[in-house]
Structure 1
Amino acid sequence: MSVRTLPLVFINLGGEMLYILDQRLRAHNTSEDGSEKGVWSDNDRRRVMGDIVGTMFSKTFMDELLKPQQLFSHRTMKTVLTRLAHASIMRLNPASMDRLYDLMVMAFKYQVFLCPRPKDLLLVSYNHIDAIREFVKDTPVLVNQVDDTHRKIIEVYSHLSEGEFQLLRQTLLIFFQDVHVRVSLFLKTQIQNPNGRFTMATSGLVPYGMDVPGLIRVLDVRGREVMRREFSTGGSYSSPVREGCFDLHGDRVIRLGMNIYTVDHLEETRTSKTAGVKPDDAPNLLAKEELNLLARLMGSMKAEDAPTGHVGIRINLFHTDQEEEEGGTTGGAWESLSEVISIQAMQDEQAANELARIAGQFAEEEEKRDHHGNSSKGDELLAMMDDL
């Protein structure tokens, strides 16, 4: 696992969050009934963006973030980004934050997949930093903070070897591997399958300095070629004429870290947790019996109620309250990748309490494994963010 992954994840996810917030706040500049109630002015939008960017690129916060450390879990990362979003006068309910995080993760995941080589992850990050700088271009103090972070990123990552960049990319892929949230924009452009997985091209330009696939060479101990054999790659590849010249998926390459959200695409940024896999029509009797047994064992255990949200100016990021309630019931994509089955049954109270105690122990152990090595760092960053 690379210890240099966290800053890039935070900057890129933060950049995607600012894209979405800017789009949604611009859309809230006008109300449907023509009244001023619930309308965010352009000054409000700039204030929210400025507060978030100021907290995100604070010198003390970035200095702590750039220290070598393990990548946070999705739960910890979402907590940090939620605190970042609430650094301004805006308040998001849990359902809106769930959807916002899903959009951020899926957009960054697709950009990582589009990188022809691991080192191009820096290009994605630089594009996000340039866009963030544009958001606060009228505030010199914030521009200086963004510029200072940009210089630090160049200093830290420009000297990494190809192997270190490959390890960084591998760490990112592990971070993304179980998240397959469907996004309407990606489904409409056919870059995402109904099951939430991205479609990748089998043709195009290879990374600069790399050979076109299709040839196997066998060398002896002295490095002399003794045999060569060609094989079919299933695609059409070519070498770039210069470094930085690549064209994956045609015009889709412009999305490497650039803002794909506009006010015209409000309907296309909706997310769905449905797996999209057609179920088997034949009933599984064994599975039904197992669920019945589980219901009898679980008894009357109930989930704890979620804590109440922060008090502040509330904004609906995603269309209607009904959609937000639906999003809240599905939970985050990193918590569950399948449909949740709610089981209730009558059971002896003493047995139910014992099972609840055992389940609590399992939850505590899982929490410890989830946050081992990064919970303390996450708490430090959250405390620092609160001070800011």
Structure 2
Amino acid sequence: MSVRTLPLVFINLGGEMLYILDQRLRAHNTSEDNSEKGVWSENDRKRVISDIVGTLFSQSFMDELLKPQQLYSHRTMKTVLTRLAHASIMRLSPASMDRLYELMIMAFKHQVFVCPRPKDLLLVSYNHMDSMRQLVRDTPAVENRVEETHRRILEVYSAFSEGELQLLRQTLLIFLQDLHVRVSLFLKMKIQNPNGRFALPASGPVPHRVDVPGTIRMFDCKGREVRRRPFPAGGSYSCSVRPGSFELHGPRRTRLGLNVYSMEHPEETQTSRAPPAEDNTPNLLAKEELNLLARLMGSMDAQMSPAKDASFRFNLFNTVEEEEEEEEAGPSCDWKRPAFGVINIQAVQDEETASELARIAGQFAENEENHNDNKGDDLLAMMDNL
């Protein structure tokens, strides 16, 4: 596992988040200035984008990210990015943040998949920083932070060997594996299949200095080639015509990490879970598990329901009804939302037993709140200070 993956993940996911927020805030703009109270204006959009970029590229935050460390879990990553999204006057509902994180992850996953070689992962990151620099070009102080971070990223990663870059790519693939959220925009562009997996072409030019697949070479003990044997490669490949197009500052930069949300498709940036494979195997313990759950839960739903958030709410996606249903269902134990319906189980219990179970469950909830990942605590505290 590479210990230098975290900065690239934050930069790329932060860039994708700003693409989506900028597109959504522009779609909600109904006032050119602050003349209408309670309505998002162009100045509000610029302030939100500037505050988020300024927090992401602050010196103290980047100093912490650039330290060699293991990659965070999805739960911790989503917590830090939620705090980053709330660094300004905007507040997102939990359901909107869940979908925003899914869009960010799937867009970044596709970009990792289409990189022909590990070094191109740096191009994706540089393109995201270039785009964020354009978003805050009216705020010179924030633009300078982006420029300084760009310089530091170049210093750190330009000295990486091919083996280190390959290890970085493998770490990213492990982080992104088993995530198959369907995005309507990707489905329409034919880059994603209905099952949530990306449709990658099996043809095209190979990276510079890479042989076209289709030949097996055999060597003797002295390293001399003694025999060749062709094999079907399963695609039509060709050598890259312009070697310079794959360098860090060549034309290849304009084709990786593009903002697909710049197109006017606000209604198509929706996500949905891929349908699970049908399993007809009977679960003999299902009845016992439900009975046990009924005995444990009792009538604690009313006592354990979370309080409503009084902060300003911004519906990032047009799914108000679904978001309200998810809030009523309560937070899940992981960042992934369940793909099944909610079953309310009621059991008749005496008042003393229900009260005791509620007290025990309250202790569990308190312990869960106090048990945060040590990895994300420093970054969250740093964001609060910023």
Bucket of the pairwise TM-score, normalised by the shorter protein: 0.7 to 0.9
Of residues 265, 289, 293, the one that matches 1:294 is: 289
1:159-195 CA-to-partner distances (Å, cap 9, x unmatched) read 1111111111111111111221111001111211111
- Contact 1:191-1:198 within 8 A present in 2 as well: yes
- Contact 1:296-1:346 within 8 A present in 2 as well: no
Look up the match of 1:381.
379
Give matches, 1:200-215, under 5 Å.
200-215=200-215
Q: Cα 1:327–1:238, aligned 2, differ >3 Å: closer, same or farther?
A: farther
C-alpha distance in 2, partners of 1:294/1:353? 21
Letter of the 1:189 partner, please give it: M
**Partner SS, residue 242 of structure 2:** coil
Look up the match of 1:107.
107
C-alpha distance in 2, partners of 1:120/1:66? 20
Look up the match of 1:226.
226
Q: CA deviation at 1:262?
A: 3.3
- Contact 1:82-1:97 within 8 A present in 2 as well: yes
Give matches, 1:46-195, under 5 Å.
46-195=46-195
Q: Cα 1:93–1:176, aligned 2, differ >3 Å: closer, same or farther?
A: same
1:361-386 CA-to-partner distances (Å, cap 9, x unmatched) read 8x989x97xx7xxx323101111111
C-alpha distance in 1, partners of 2:199/2:367? 38
Q: Cα 1:117–1:364, aligned 2, differ >3 Å: closer, same or farther?
A: farther
Q: CA deviation at 1:258?
A: 1.6
The two structures, once aligned, show a CA RMSD in angstroms of: 3.2
Letter of the 1:335 partner, please give it: K
Q: CA deviation at 1:311?
A: 2.1
Give matches, 1:183-332, under 5 Å.
183-243=183-243, 245=245, 256-262=256-262, 264-273=264-273, 275-277=274-276, 279=278, 284=281, 286-287=282-283, 289-299=284-294, 300-301=296-297, 304-306=304-306, 308-309=308-309, 311-312=311-312, 314-325=313-324
Q: CA deviation at 1:338?
A: 4.5
Q: CA deviation at 1:335?
A: 2.9
C-alpha distance in 1, partners of 2:310/2:203? 49
Q: CA deviation at 1:42?
A: 0.7
1:279-299 CA-to-partner distances (Å, cap 9, x unmatched) read 36xx54x32x43212101222
Q: Cα 1:217–1:351, aligned 2, differ >3 Å: closer, same or farther?
A: farther
1:209-249 CA-to-partner distances (Å, cap 9, x unmatched) read 11111111111111111221111011001110233547xxx
Letter of the 1:321 partner, please give it: V
Q: Cα 1:332–1:157, aligned 2, differ >3 Å: closer, same or farther?
A: farther
**Partner SS, residue 179 of structure 1:** coil
Listed as ranges, the gaps of 5+ residues in structure 1 are: 247-251
- Contact 2:216-2:230 within 8 A present in 1 as well: yes
- Contact 2:75-2:334 within 8 A present in 1 as well: no
Q: CA deviation at 1:276?
A: 2.5
* TM-score (normalizing by structure 1): 0.85
Q: CA deviation at 1:106?
A: 0.7
Q: CA deviation at 1:16?
A: 0.6
Look up the match of 1:339.
340
* TM-score (normalizing by structure 2): 0.85
Q: CA deviation at 1:305?
A: 3.8
Q: CA deviation at 1:261?
A: 0.7
**Partner SS, residue 119 of structure 2:** helix
Q: Cα 1:276–1:253, aligned 2, differ >3 Å: closer, same or farther?
A: farther
Letter of the 2:168 partner, please give it: L
Using the aligned pairs only, state the percent identity: 62
- Contact 2:124-2:253 within 8 A present in 1 as well: no
**Partner SS, residue 218 of structure 2:** strand
**Partner SS, residue 182 of structure 1:** strand
